[in-house]
């Protein structure tokens, strides 16, 4: 495997994980990459490592350019094992390499995973001369763990941004100018929604900290490298951080005998009549991580569940747990569901949506057994009226 030159003296030496389909609960249908970067200067420098099972792939890419034992500096921008798993292996080869990580959390987290490999903590604004080049370290805590930082390199103005601006997107193309760009944006959005969204406020602070920098290349730790489309990905991040809404409404449900599904379609009709763009997700077929990517910017969310053994269906509980954890922008919600007897699920759904601080558009909608056409028409009319009256 060969290193890929991305700038004079700068190489991508990461790994492509074509088969990754799950990243701690996030469905990664396009696989991923673990990006590592090699800088050839007076101090030979490796930025980040890769997931441990991919260490030989990284080593072979580094070896295509230099003797890996000659690496002087390893910068660990983030201790999560998808970027640090191969660190002990690299340290065993580059025995004299000094490992730099964020002062405090970075060192603490690396030590917890790998023991003492002799880490050097760096603080905000601290610099490291590599020879012709200089790295400046900028902490970006909680984008996505407390230890995250980014490294900015001059004179090329390259931002090694780690998780920020990443995408779970396996590709042999490395640059935004070479890849399937619409797919890269889809995956960047899904990545933000599932990984970065809970820390939108901290991401906003990180964007502020980077605002004064001239950036000619963004090298994230997953997916493609941003070059010509830097203004576009920065603008998208700003809109996501600002919790901007679009004119969509998402309807998430599970169904036993299609009654709750029929209610979902009645609500869909109401959203359509109100001029919104509804999107339907049957939890039997759709993954939580895809739904939350669309939910991120939606104005409304409707969640439906039949009552099963006095409870909402487990698939709906799973979605609500996942949705709550992402702490995204607040929406008006509709809880709904059919039942045979008992009928507890719509109120449970309603409680589940209140805890991520969403606000009920209207009382929960409940119907026994199979809804009649008249009942469905009434749901449609009631939802439309609630939308008009707010």
Positions marked active-site: 24, 78, 80, 82, 144, 163, 191, 222
Q: Is 222 in the site for ligand FEO (CB under 6 A)?
A: yes
The interface region with ligand FEO, picked from 12-20, 77-85, 235-243, 359-367 by CB under 6 A, is 77-85
For ligand FEO, the closer of residues 82 and 268 by Cβ is 82
* 82 makes contact with ligand FEO (CB under 6 A): yes
- H or E segment and range at residue 128: strand 127-129
282-311 residues near ligand FEO, rule: CB under 6 A:
none
Confirm or reject binding of residue 133 to ligand FEO (CB under 6 A).
Answer: no
Between CA 176 and CA 164 the distance in angstroms is: 15
Q: How far is the CB of 203 from ligand FEO (least distance, A)?
A: 13
Nearest to 221 by CA among 85, 92, 29: 85
| Residue 80 near ligand FEO by CB under 6 A | yes
Residue number, 30 or 83, with CB nearest to ligand FEO: 83
- Look at residue 301 and give its three-state secondary structure: strand
> Applying CB under 6 A, does 190 fall inside the site for ligand FEO?
no
Measured CA to CA in angstroms, residue 143 lies from 163, 164, 197, 328 at distances of 7, 7, 9, 15
The smaller minimum CB distance to ligand FEO, of residues 289 and 305, is found at 289
What is the token pair recorded at 228?
A: 């010509």
Q: Is 83 in the site for ligand FEO (CB under 6 A)?
A: yes
Nearer to ligand FEO, 188 or 383 (CB): 188
The CA-atom distances, in angstroms, between 289 and each of 22, 84, 281, 329, 354 are 10, 24, 12, 16, 20
Q: Which of 149, 151, 154 is nearest to 131 (CA)?
A: 154
Nearest to 147 by CA among 221, 79, 244: 79
Instruction: Count residues near ligand FEO (CB under 6 A).
Output: 9
What is the contact surface with ligand FEO in residues (CB under 6 A)? 78, 80, 82-83, 144-145, 163, 221-222
């Amino acid at each position: 495997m060969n290193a890929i030159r991305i700038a004079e003296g700068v190489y991508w030496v990461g790994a492509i994980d074509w088969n990754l389909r799950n990243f701690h609960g996030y469905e990664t249908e396009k696989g991923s990459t673990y990006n590592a970067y090699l800088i050839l200067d007076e101090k030979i420098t490796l930025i980040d490592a890769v997931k441990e099972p991919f260490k030989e792939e990284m080593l072979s890419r580094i070896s295509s350019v230099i003797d890996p034992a000659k690496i002087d500096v390893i910068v660990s921008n983030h201790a999560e094992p998808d970027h640090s798993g191969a660190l002990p292996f690299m340290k065993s080869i580059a025995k004299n390499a000094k490992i730099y990580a964020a002062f405090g959390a970075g060192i603490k987290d690396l030590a917890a995973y790998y023991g003492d490999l002799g880490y050097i903590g760096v603080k905000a604004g601290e610099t490291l001369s590599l020879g012709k080049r200089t790295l400046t370290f900028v902490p970006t805590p909680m984008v996505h763990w407390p230890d995250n930082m980014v490294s900015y390199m001059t004179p090329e103005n390259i931002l090694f941004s780690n998780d920020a601006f990443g995408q779970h997107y396996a590709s042999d193309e490395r640059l935004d100018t070479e890849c399937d760009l619409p797919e890269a944006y889809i995956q960047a959005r899904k990545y933000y929604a599932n990984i970065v969204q809970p820390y939108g406020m901290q991401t906003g602070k990180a964007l502020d900290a980077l605002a004064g920098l001239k950036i000619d290349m963004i090298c994230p730790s997953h997916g493609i490298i941003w070059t010509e489309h830097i203004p576009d990905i920065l603008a998208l991040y700003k809109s996501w951080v600002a919790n901007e809404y679009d004119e969509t409404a998402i309807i998430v449900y599970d169904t036993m005998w299609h009654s709750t599904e029929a209610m979902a379609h009645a609500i869909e009709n109401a959203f359509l009549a109100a001029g919104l763009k509804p999107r339907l997700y049957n939890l039997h077929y759709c993954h939580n991580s895809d739904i939350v990517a669309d939910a991120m910017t939606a104005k409304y969310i409707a969640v439906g569940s039949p009552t099963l053994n006095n409870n909402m269906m487990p698939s709906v509980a799973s979605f609500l747990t996942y949705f709550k954890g992402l702490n995204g922008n607040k929406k008006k919600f509709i809880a709904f569901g059919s039942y045979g007897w008992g009928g507890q699920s719509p109120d449970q759904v309603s409680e589940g949506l209140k805890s991520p601080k969403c606000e009920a558009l209207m009382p929960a909608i409940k119907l026994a057994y199979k809804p009649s056409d008249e009942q469905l028409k009434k749901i449609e009319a009631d939802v439309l009226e609630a939308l008009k009256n707010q």
